[in-house]
Amino acid sequence: MDGCNISKKSDDDNDDTIRCLIHNKKQKVICFDCNELICTVCLTTQHNKHDVEHIYSLKTQFTSDKRIKRFDTRLDTLWDTLQQLAWSYDTIQMSKRRVANQFREMHEYLMRKEQWLKKDLDDELDKTTTSINNIINEIANIKAHATNNKVNDINYKGEVEDGDGVDVMNTLVRSIQTSKSMDQFINKQFKPCDDGVTCDGDQLLDFVRRASQATQAIHTVSRPLRTYFNSYMLENDLVEIFDKYIYENAATKIEHGFRNHIFSLLKDSCSILSLDTGEWTVINDKCTPRERIFRSVVYARGNVYVFGGQGSADTYSRFSLIDQKWHNDLEIIGVDGGESISTCYDGDKLIYLVGGFHNDKMLDRIDCFNIDTQQFSSVGRLSVPTRASHSFFRLGMIVIVGGYVDAEYKVSLKDILEFNSVTKICHVSLETEFLPNEPIHSCYDGLDHLFMMGDKSTLLVDLSTMESPQIESRASFGTCHIYH
């Protein structure tokens, strides 16, 4: 093979063909095994049984879109790899934002804890500083009277009222602690006035009266509080907690061919809309007829689940996007079924069932369905029963918004509720100014923002800060969804 990888152009006029240095023949063959251009002699002598292609064959393969067909398989492989990388990128980016949000919330919690711990200390420090200032002022008055009856015989050097009060008070406290007696402390902190300054009898009597009045004051000694925490043990515990509760695994990508699609379900029929092509795919397989399932349809792991509904309150159905088949009339066992249930998926293995209406009563339940075990279980209770609300899972919290708190669909849930999936505590995270009789629609961007829409106004809520500027609008809104 020596020399075949070195080529030159022919000296013939108007001949730019690359020629073999050994045989001086045109190199019209490519050897894919050696990745070299070769001539026909090299082909028979040194590249026998190699994967080769002649220029004439390549010309027939060179399509109008400027591609060689033999590379189509490689392009398919590259496309599969790019899709996997895009999935990894999205997953990693989402995880990065989730981690940042979780640590921000932890940081905000630690700051609130710090302020809570410092509050008592600040209150006691203010009391202590006030008492020290009052005593210093009283000493100044008494010492002035005791020094040859001269008004302003001494002046307090510290001037606690002026300048940087913290630094001055720190200096004053050090002086108190290092002085062995009151006289030594006075000599350190007070200076005599000019000897020429005197006062008459009236001034002296008034001064003594004020000094005598000051001696009746009671100076409260504040508690010598010592608040601290064992940072070493706290850090060790945090390390153990992080090691225990931080999970890292490969995200599962279910291949079903319906990504970037919207699933539409009505009674016993369903269809799927492609957002890329705008085309509908009608599913021929029939679902058990269900109504009032507006919020009880949820996607998880390549399946669409529908829980309860009017007409089939105690069962649920599962539609597999992989084989496009319905699995109907699966029993809801261990928890309430019902209609107008709100559902949300935690991104792992749990689907939460929130509120609803069953057996003529409103439900305040939060239950869950385990995808792995196919079992239902009770989780906790809402602070108020709801139906047809919008719920979503965010950073370990189930956020509930919109819907109704009465059986007649007349009183809206106007405030935002949050249910902690760990502590099982539900609370109002944000009170809004929507009217109780105002229908509220909502959508969530999957990250930090919630959009609430009423008849006359809208509200954009930053869930990380719970800031909510009201956006006035005259338009009336219907249902809104954000699909990922």
pLDDT at 461: 92
pLDDT of 424 > 80? The answer is yes
Query: What average pLDDT does range 13-34 have in this prediction?
Result: 76
The structure tokens 């002046």 sit at: 155
Please tell me the total number of residues recorded for the chain in this structure: 484
| Side-chain half-sphere exposure of 466, counting CA atoms within 13 A | 12
Spatial CA neighbour of 253 closest among 48, 73, 91, 14: 91
pLDDT digits (tens, 9 = 90+) for 68-83: 777 778 888 888 889 8
The structure tokens 């918004």 sit at: 401
Structure tokens at 317: 């159905």
Q: Which of 92-96, 334-338, 422-426, 437-441 has the lowest mean pLDDT?
A: 92-96
Q: How confident is the model at residue 368 (pLDDT cuts 50, 70, 90)?
A: very high
**Are 142 and 134 within 8 A, CB to CB?**
no
Higher pLDDT, 189 or 165: 189
Q: Is the dihedral of CA 284, 278, 295, 94 positive or negative?
A: positive
Interior angle at CA 329, CA 325 and CA 335, nearest 5: 125
| Side-chain half-sphere exposure of 40, counting CA atoms within 13 A | 5
pLDDT of 54 > 60? The answer is yes
pLDDT digits (tens, 9 = 90+) for 146-179: 443 333 334 444 444 444 567 888 888 888 888 8
> Which residues make Cβ contacts (< 8 Å) with residue 441, sequence separation at least 6?
402, 452, 453, 454, 477, 478, 479, 480
Percent of the chain with pLDDT over 70: 84
pLDDT of 48 > 90? The answer is no
pLDDT of 63 > 70? The answer is no
pLDDT at 360: 93
**Are 325 and 285 within 8 A, CB to CB?**
yes
**Are 313 and 329 within 8 A, CB to CB?**
no
pLDDT of 136 > 60? The answer is yes
pLDDT of 122 > 70? The answer is yes
Higher pLDDT, 14 or 112: 112
Higher pLDDT, 98 or 295: 295
pLDDT at 6: 47
Q: Is the dihedral of CA 205, 206, 207, 213 positive or negative?
A: positive
Among 43-52, 59-68, 185-194, name the most confident range. Answer: 43-52
- Pairing of β 390-394 and β 375-381: unpaired
pLDDT at 370: 95
Number of C-beta neighbours around residue 166 at 10 A:
10
pLDDT of 250 > 80? The answer is no
Q: How confident is the model at residue 434 (pLDDT cuts 50, 70, 90)?
A: very high
**Are 337 and 290 within 8 A, CB to CB?**
no
Q: Which of 124-128, 153-157, 375-379 has the lowest mean pLDDT?
A: 153-157
Can you tell me the distance from the alpha carbon of 399 to that of 384, in angstroms, rounded to the nearest whole number? Answer: 13
**Are 377 and 367 within 8 A, CB to CB?**
yes
Q: How confident is the model at residue 52 (pLDDT cuts 50, 70, 90)?
A: confident
Can you give the three-state secondary structure of 14-43, one letter per residue? CCCCEEECCCCCECCEEECCCCEEECHHHH
Helix axes 72-146, 165-178, angle to 10 degrees: 60
pLDDT at 480: 44
Query: What average pLDDT does range 302-312 have in this prediction?
Result: 94
pLDDT of 55 > 90? The answer is no
* Paired strand residues for 190: 156
Q: How confident is the model at residue 478 (pLDDT cuts 50, 70, 90)?
A: very low
Structure tokens at 247: 């999970």
pLDDT of 334 > 90? The answer is yes
pLDDT at 469: 62
Can you tell me the distance from the alpha carbon of 154 to that of 195, in angstroms, rounded to the nearest whole number? Answer: 10
Can you tell me the distance from the alpha carbon of 397 to that of 352, in angstroms, rounded to the nearest whole number? Answer: 11
Can you tell me the distance from the alpha carbon of 56 to that of 363, in angstroms, rounded to the nearest whole number? Answer: 76
Q: How confident is the model at residue 475 (pLDDT cuts 50, 70, 90)?
A: very low
Structure tokens at 134: 């009052």
Structure tokens at 299: 């996607």
pLDDT at 464: 81
Can you tell me the distance from the alpha carbon of 464 to that of 447, in angstroms, rounded to the nearest whole number? Answer: 9
Higher pLDDT, 16 or 452: 452
pLDDT at 426: 96
The stretches of 147-299 forming alpha helices (DSSP H) are 165-178, 182-189, 201-214, 231-245
**Are 338 and 363 within 8 A, CB to CB?**
yes
Q: How confident is the model at residue 15 (pLDDT cuts 50, 70, 90)?
A: low
Can you tell me the distance from the alpha carbon of 373 to that of 405, in angstroms, rounded to the nearest whole number? Answer: 32
Q: Which of 196-205, 331-340, 387-396 has the lowest mean pLDDT?
A: 196-205
Can you tell me the distance from the alpha carbon of 148 to that of 347, in angstroms, rounded to the nearest whole number? Answer: 85
pLDDT digits (tens, 9 = 90+) for 354-367: 999 999 999 999 99
Query: What average pLDDT does range 231-239 have in this prediction?
Result: 78
Question: First CA to last CA across the chain, in angstroms?
Answer: 56
- Domains of the chain from N-terminus onward: 7-61 (3.30.160.60), 94-214 (no CATH), 261-472 (2.120.10.80)
pLDDT at 38: 83
Structure tokens at 245: 């509760």
Interior angle at CA 61, CA 34 and CA 63, nearest 5: 130
> Which residues make Cβ contacts (< 8 Å) with residue 438, sequence separation at least 6?
412, 414, 454, 455, 456
